[in-house]
Amino acid sequence: MSAVATPAPPGSPEVRSRWGLFAERDFRLLWVGETVSQLGNNITSVALPLVAVLVLDAGPLAAGVLTAAVWLPWLVLGLPAGVWVGRVPRRAVMIACNLGSAALFASVPVAGWFGVLTLAQLLVVALLAGVSSVFFEAAFEAYLPELVAPEHLIEGNAKLQGSASAAAVAGRGLAGLTVQLLGATAGLLADAVSFLVATVTLLRIRTGPRPVAAEAAPDGLLRQAREGLAFLLRDPYLRSFTLYGATANFALTGYQSITALFLIRSAGIAPGWVGGLASAGAVGGVFGALAVRPLCRRLGTARAVRIVLLALSPFGMLMALAGPGPGTVLYLVGALLVVAGVVFCNVVLNSFRQSYLPPELLSRVAATSMCANHATIPLGALTGGALGAAIGLRATMGVMTGLLALCAVLPLLSPLRTVRDLPTRELPTRELPTGEGAVRAAEPRP
């Protein structure tokens, strides 16, 4: 007579190995809220400029200013936001930012219904939503390590990045359908609802915040911001990774800003295919996130980043060769592989930063890094447009995708080029690693 198998309890190792972080209630809540919020954000990325163009008859310059307004707060508030977030409970900051963003985006359809919507209001909404994003991202970067054990950070970031990429595919498709059936302003209302859903999930998380340090002296904000910047510039890993992120964002937005024009006017691809091809990169992001854990286990985190960067980045240059018919495949393959590589590296490097930095420095160093990375986005978009007008669309695609391929060597300016795994603690600057043994032998920070 055989024994009857009983199911494993929820907290058992069997369940943990089968479901990973999805077996943990608090992470599930965070993941659901962020996935829904990312879905809403991608709807807004399409709907907001359409509101300006279709409802308010805005021209190209106004549309460009509207896009720049979203990113401008990073240049002004990135550093102080990281310092301030380090002094307060992260989850409270994230909830406040979600509620503020929900109110901002809901104000647009409300104003439209009453016939009082103006371009000035759209610009204010975009600017304040950008401010909210700065504080939310700084808090989120420091909050995930409070919720997830250090050894599971790669898994957590991979799941969040993977769902964000999937939300980008679905969100852009939903945006077009929503605009067509309900009007452009309805897309912003959907985003407002998504922020409310994310707020509810954050409120239901049971894990309490870690204690925060007492408020610093009045002059502490500037001093701590300088400390975060100095730490980033002094550390060989963080310095080279930030340089890579800033340069890669410049190249990515440089070609993405002209992609639609390039596909239609230079590659001869029918306009109806442009939306689907634009979503191809997001599908690549899903694949990149899924590949992180198996590749890092097999190769090591540092070696996996080296191989993925050097192997996938050059494929971006295929996009510049795209043409009608079978030539469309060149753009599809290039976009899939480039974004897969970018998302893969984002997961590993974000996890590295969260486990490598001491908690008291995490939010300000992370915000400093994100500030540098985001600052190049509007510059890349402007440069791509200017080059497109000066040397042509196909040539600009070639220049920007070639620059992206060259960016792959920047992380190799750090000890990344010699180690198998990235370290999980701060290394003394006078004892930089020269090989695998140096990283493993380093003393953990108390």
pLDDT in tens, 146-200: 888 878 888 888 888 888 877 877 776 676 667 667 777 787 888 899 999 999 9
What is the secondary structure of 376-421 as a DSSP string? HHHHHHHHHHHHHHHH-HHHHHHHHHHHHHHHTTGGGGSGGGT-SS
- Give the model's pLDDT for residue 406: 94
Average pLDDT over residues 347-352: 88
215: pLDDT confidence band, cut at 50, 70 and 90?
Answer: very low
pLDDT in tens, 198-208: 999 999 998 76
- Give the model's pLDDT for residue 160: 86
- Residue type at position 167: A
Which pair of structure tokens corresponds to residue 17? 């190995």
74 pLDDT above the threshold of 70:
yes
Higher pLDDT, 57 or 430: 57
Residue closest to 446 by CA, chosen among 360, 366, 367: 360
How far is it, in rounded angstroms, from Cα 182 to Cα 185? 8
429 pLDDT above the threshold of 60:
no
pLDDT in tens, 315-332: 999 999 998 888 889 999
How far is it, in rounded angstroms, from Cα 352 to Cα 160? 15
Average pLDDT over residues 380-409: 89
Q: How far is CA 274 from CA 116, 270, 421, in A?
A: 33, 7, 40
314 pLDDT above the threshold of 90:
yes
How far is it, in rounded angstroms, from Cα 42 to Cα 168? 6
- Give the model's pLDDT for residue 95: 94
pLDDT in tens, 262-274: 887 888 887 657 6
Higher pLDDT, 444 or 230: 230
How far is it, in rounded angstroms, from Cα 56 to Cα 54? 6
* 440: number of Cβ within 10 Å: 12
- Give the model's pLDDT for residue 275: 59
pLDDT in tens, 337-346: 998 998 899 8
What is the secondary structure of 261-281 as a DSSP string? HIIIIIS---HHHHHHHHTHH
Q: For the ranges 36-40, 195-199, 243-247, 274-278, which has the lowest average pLDDT? A: 274-278
Q: For the ranges 27-31, 333-337, 440-444, which has the lowest average pLDDT? A: 440-444
How far is it, in rounded angstroms, from Cα 265 to Cα 122? 30
Higher pLDDT, 299 or 150: 299
User: Which DSSP category does 24 fall into?
Assistant: S
Average pLDDT over residues 378-391: 83
- Give the model's pLDDT for residue 172: 67
99: pLDDT confidence band, cut at 50, 70 and 90?
Answer: very high
How far is it, in rounded angstroms, from Cα 350 to Cα 370? 11
Higher pLDDT, 278 or 16: 278
Domains, in order of start, for the chain: 20-210 (1.20.1250.20), 220-441 (1.20.1250.20)
Average pLDDT over residues 423-444: 40
Length of the chain: 446
pLDDT in tens, 410-425: 988 888 888 999 987 6
- Give the model's pLDDT for residue 64: 61
- Give the model's pLDDT for residue 438: 31
209: pLDDT confidence band, cut at 50, 70 and 90?
Answer: low
**Phi, psi of 9, rounded to the nearest 5 degrees:** -65, 160
Cβ neighbours for 372, distance < 8 A, ≥ 6 positions apart: 242, 245, 246
- Give the model's pLDDT for residue 144: 84
User: Which DSSP category does 324 fall into?
Assistant: S
Average pLDDT over residues 59-73: 69
399: pLDDT confidence band, cut at 50, 70 and 90?
Answer: very high
SS3 101: helix
Q: For the ranges 52-61, 73-82, 128-137, 392-401, which has the lowest average pLDDT? A: 52-61
How far is it, in rounded angstroms, from Cα 291 to Cα 106? 37
